[in-house]
Amino acid sequence: MSESAARVLRHTGLVRVVHWSVAVSGIVLLFSGFGELPMYKRYNVVELPGLSWAGDFELNLVIHYVASVVFLAAILFHVVHHVARRQLAAVPRRGDLRESVAILRAMLKGGKEPPHGKFLAEQRVAYGAFALVIAVLAVTGMIKTYKNLGDVVIPPAALQVITLLHTAFAVSFLLLLVLHLAAFLLRANWPLLPSMVTGTVSRAYARRRHPLWRTGEDGPDVPSSTGKTASRARNAGPTPGSADRPRRPWLGLTTTDIVRLVPGVLVLISVGLAVTVSSWWLVLAAFVGVNLLQSAWSRWCLLERLLIRLGVPSSRANESWRTES
């Protein structure tokens, strides 16, 4: 196979699922959050086909709560997953702002970019900005939710500041999202766009634009021989003979573990929303129970099939990982 046709794994299936969970739930949060303001009726958004419901405050509030649970769960998993595996290539570093300017100048003027690892400096800067904005949104959002639980009194002046911060950072999140998408208008970034769907980039592209990205190595980012940093993330791609080695499950979890974990999380979410929003959320817990019963009878589980397709190792086939040093 020619190098131009060869592919390198850049994002595992799990990383892509988490990415799209954050993206979709984040967009839903923005839409439902602005829907709690009287703007959709004021600007006749409700007159658009299929959006007559958009002006319903209560409905938008419920959608906002559900999307926030998905959003925060995906963010929390992302942080724990990558910190536990010491995959920190996307974390901002000193000099990233200066390097980002050099990259942008090179892309606009057709010059030579500085050598990159797995992530560009501008991507690390954007990652840091998203992290800051999401942290403020999460804290202010939880305070606003706590206020709605019942006999909770927050001084009006403090609540006003919290609300203004939440709204301002929601607008910031929207602007960052627009800038994130606008980056793909630059031709140099086009090969990266499909990788969030397929998970791969061409080997030729990786060697040309990411020469410091050492694919297929396990462990954290470490300085390379040139003093730069190179990604040694497990999800970078296979190395010769890697198919013969047992794969360590994600965070020590196998398909069996995750199939047990997810129903437990869904039941807790169901009970929490039933207490804080509506008792109708107990239907989710009932659905989980029915699905567990049918899977025990039929021996078929959609989640298990998806995890296997994403490459999560089964407990039976990969027990030998526990004996690795």
Q: Could you report the per-residue pLDDT of 238-269, keeping only the tens digit for each?
A: 333 333 344 444 445 678 888 888 888 888 88
Average pLDDT for 207-235: 51
Fold of 9-199: Fumarate Reductase Cytochrome B subunit (1.20.950)
pLDDT of residue 33: 93
Cα distances from 232 to residues 19, 146, 198, 217, in angstroms, run 20, 41, 20, 5
Give the number of other Cβ atoms within 10 Å of residue 225's Cβ: 6
Is the predicted pLDDT of residue 35 greater than 60, yes or no? yes
Among all chains, which residue has been given the structure tokens 């939880």? 142
Which DSSP category does 250 fall into?
Answer: B
pLDDT of residue 171: 95
217: CB partners within 8 A, 6+ apart: 232, 233, 236, 239
pLDDT of residue 152: 66
Q: What is the pLDDT of residues 62-111, one digit of tens each?
A: 899 999 989 999 998 898 888 888 888 899 998 999 999 888 888 888 77
Residue 200, helix vs strand vs coil: strand
Confidence class for position 26, pLDDT limits 50, 70, 90 = very high
Among all chains, which residue has been given the structure tokens 């769907």? 197
Between 148 and 213, name the one with better pLDDT: 213
Domain with CATH 1.20.950.20 in the chain: 9-199
Phi, psi of 17 (to 5 degrees): -60, -45
pLDDT of residue 114: 87
Q: Sign of dihedral through CA atoms 174, 180, 184, 185?
A: positive
Overall pTM > 0.85: no
pLDDT of residue 242: 37
Q: What is the pLDDT of residues 286-319, one digit of tens each?
A: 888 888 888 888 888 888 888 777 777 775 444 4
Q: Is 202 exposed, middle or buried (0-12, 13-18, 19+ CB in 10 A)?
A: middle
* Side-chain-facing half-sphere of 62: CA atoms under 13 Å: 15
Cα distances from 70 to residues 21, 25, 65, 180, 253, in angstroms, run 7, 6, 9, 21, 20
Cα distances from 66 to residues 21, 73, 78, 184, 202, in angstroms, run 12, 11, 19, 30, 38
Helices 57-84 + 121-147 axis angle, to 10: 130
Q: What is the pLDDT of residues 163-203, one digit of tens each?
A: 999 999 999 999 999 999 998 988 888 999 999 899 999 99
Q: What is the pLDDT of residues 120-147, one digit of tens each?
A: 999 999 999 999 999 999 999 988 887 7
Confidence class for position 3, pLDDT limits 50, 70, 90 = low
Among all chains, which residue has been given the structure tokens 């869904």? 266
Answer whether 221's CB lies under 8 Å from 228's CB.
no
Average pLDDT for 42-66: 91
pLDDT of residue 275: 77
Cα distances from 73 to residues 26, 66, 174, 177, 243, in angstroms, run 12, 11, 20, 19, 31
